[in-house]
A and B are shown apart, each in its own frame.
Chain A
Amino acid sequence: MMNLVEALLAGDRLALSRLLTQVENDTQEGRSALNELFTHTGKAHLVGVTGAPGVGKSSLVNQLALHYRKQTNKSIAIIAVDPTSPFTGGAVLGDRVRMRDLAGDAGVFIRSMASRGTLGGLAHATAAVTQVFDAAGFDIVLIETVGAGQAEVDIARLAHTTLVVEAPGMGDDIQAIKAGILEIADVLVINKADRPGLEHTERALRGMLEMAHPVKHVFQHHGKIEVVESPIGAQENTAQFWVPPIQKTIANDGTGIPELAESIDKHVRYLESSGDWNLRERSRLETELDALIQDTLTTQFRSSLPEEKYDRALVLILERKLSPWEAVKALMNGRKI
């Protein structure tokens, strides 16, 4: 397996692809490769793209990648996650259909991933797969989530910059103030901006943003002009404060893509100048470490626990003779059940 790592670092695409499979399947080889590769990570800009099904995430990723390839010399990796059927374990991964413009470019690598039963819009191994691309030297990793909609906050923990994609007519004002998905946006994108209902969607999003990030307001109250200062008013234009911009795009013809790319660049500059980059790296790696500790401890504990004991506890819980909390306590303390 060592030579697969070496081949990957030397730019071998087949080695990269095979390692991605090992990592995705969480094999022993995959794990030791991740150990080898970890020192080579930390350079790529991770951009998450999330939003409800059908808002045009794949088309947007396609256009963004095209833009970067034409305007910059940056290499692009794309991870496209689609849902696994909970019944059969199978999946149809169709995001490549919208990314055909990128074929034949050696600076682009697209990998489809099935969610394999994970909720939250990403697959279990997405973070690890991201590290492999990072180590392979890709400048930007675009991560497209499952189009689940409202609970995909996992992506915000993984990515440096998160794009939340909406489309006109996809939701009303209540959708816009719901907690969760909009709070994770670093850049809000209204795709399909040629569709009717654009103004309404834009107004709803702006309203939501103003609630989250108050700005100076001038309004008339009983005939007098009143001004409400924003608590953070003076800092708005400095690097210390980021208000998610709203970008309007039409991914089918590329309208608004250069402006969107500019917003993403601005966000990187903001992260770097404000020190947020390091904070995000820290919290991302913290999340990963915590998850690994949990996994490892669970596996260790379960393997040390006799199966009959576990089953006995489960039966007692089922018969309502023991609460799950008491059961955990008893199992952890090695008490007799």
Chain B
Amino acid sequence: MTEKKIRVLVAKPGLDGHDRGAKVVARALRDAGMEVIYTGLRQTPEMIAEAALQEDVDAVGLSILSGAHMALAPRILELLKANGQGNVKVFLGGIIPDEDVPQLKTLGITGIYGPGTSTEDIVRDVRTSVLGEPAV
């Protein structure tokens, strides 16, 4: 059996058109040996959940800079669960105010990353959460 490949969907839900951050993260995950499915801009939560299902991903990375994260992220979590993919780890990057973080974590977002996060941290978190290894 070949070594398990981690598959990650990197998606940009909502209406903001800035995908530089998403692309940097996609590259970092690729360079860490993961298979990254990149969906492009302006995805609806339904489109993201559908892509996650078709690609059978282990994790979903969301990049939201528009401030709509409190609407978009819970909806995506809900759709993933409805599709039987409640085990998929969801990460969130972008402009997320500190006061929203606890609620998002309670809802099931695995990691939240603001500007200035090093990609190494993101790669490590994705890997440990997917493979179930304890974080170092």
A175 interface residue per 8 A CB criterion: no
Which residues of chain B have C-beta atoms less than 8 A from A90's C-beta?
A: 29-36
Complexed CA–CA distance, A114 and B44 (Å): 25
Which residues of chain A have C-beta atoms less than 8 A from B27's C-beta?
A: 92
Complexed CA–CA distance, A85 and B39 (Å): 19
Q: A26-B1, A103-B50, A104-B50 are in contact. Are A93 and B36 (CB under 8 A)?
A: yes
Q: Mark A177-188, 1 if CB is under 8 A from B, else 0.
A: 000000000000
Q: Mark B13-45, 1 if CB is under 8 A from A, else 0.
A: 000000000000011011111111111100110
A25: contacting residue among B1, B30, B83, B84, CB under 8 A? B1
B33: contacting residue among A17, A88, A112, CB under 8 A? A88
Task: Verify A26–B2 contact, CB threshold 8 A.
Answer: yes
Task: Verify B32–A88 contact, CB threshold 8 A.
Answer: yes
A328 interface residue per 8 A CB criterion: no
Which residues of chain A have C-beta atoms less than 8 A from B84's C-beta?
A: 14
Task: Verify A111–B55 contact, CB threshold 8 A.
Answer: yes
Which residues of chain B have C-beta atoms less than 8 A from A17's C-beta?
A: 53-56
A100 interface residue per 8 A CB criterion: yes
Task: Verify A100–B36 contact, CB threshold 8 A.
Answer: no
Complexed CA–CA distance, A17 and B56 (Å): 6
Task: Verify B1–A28 contact, CB threshold 8 A.
Answer: yes
Q: Mark A12-32, 1 if CB is under 8 A from B, else 0.
A: 011001101100011110000
Task: Verify A112–B34 contact, CB threshold 8 A.
Answer: no
A93: contacting residue among B1, B31, B38, B46, CB under 8 A? B38
Return B94 CB to nearest CB of chain A, in Å: 19
Q: A20-B56, A103-B47 are in contact. Are A92 and B83 (CB under 8 A)?
A: no
A104: contacting residue among B29, B38, B47, CB under 8 A? B47
Complexed CA–CA distance, A210 and B34 (Å): 46
Complexed CA–CA distance, A100 and B54 (Å): 13
**Residues A49-105 near B (CB distance < 8 A):** 84-85, 88-94, 96-97, 100, 103-104
Complexed CA–CA distance, A18 and B53 (Å): 9
A314 interface residue per 8 A CB criterion: no
**Residues B63-122 near A (CB distance < 8 A):** 83-85
B51 interface residue per 8 A CB criterion: yes
A92: contacting residue among B36, B46, B54, CB under 8 A? B36
Return B73 CB to nearest CB of chain A, in Å: 19
Task: Verify A21–B36 contact, CB threshold 8 A.
Answer: no
Which residues of chain A have C-beta atoms less than 8 A from B85's C-beta?
A: 14
Which residues of chain A have C-beta atoms less than 8 A from B29's C-beta?
A: 90
Q: How big is the B interface, by class?
A: 20 to 34
Task: Verify B56–A114 contact, CB threshold 8 A.
Answer: no
Which residues of chain A have C-beta atoms less than 8 A from B83's C-beta?
A: 14
Which residues of chain A have C-beta atoms less than 8 A from B26's C-beta?
A: 92
Complexed CA–CA distance, A223 and B26 (Å): 66
A109 interface residue per 8 A CB criterion: yes
Which residues of chain A have C-beta atoms less than 8 A from B47's C-beta?
A: 100, 103-104
Task: Verify B38–A92 contact, CB threshold 8 A.
Answer: yes
B30: contacting residue among A85, A103, A111, CB under 8 A? A85
Complexed CA–CA distance, A85 and B43 (Å): 27
Q: Mark A110-127, 1 if CB is under 8 A from B, else 0.
A: 111010100000000000
Q: A26-B2, A88-B33, A96-B40 are in contact. Are A103 and B46 (CB under 8 A)?
A: yes
Task: Verify A97–B40 contact, CB threshold 8 A.
Answer: yes
Binding site for A on B (CB under 8 A): 1-2, 4-5, 7, 26-27, 29-40, 43-44, 46-47, 50-51, 53-56, 83-85
- 9 cross-chain pairs, A with B, having the tightest CB-CB distances, nearest first: A97-B40, A90-B30, A17-B56, A89-B33, A103-B47, A21-B56, A90-B33, A94-B38, A93-B37
6 additional A-B residue pairs with CB within 8 Å, beyond A92-B36, A97-B40:
A13-B53, A17-B55, A90-B35, A93-B36, A96-B40, A112-B55
Binding site for B on A (CB under 8 A): 13-14, 17-18, 20-21, 25-28, 84-85, 88-94, 96-97, 100, 103-104, 109-112, 114, 116
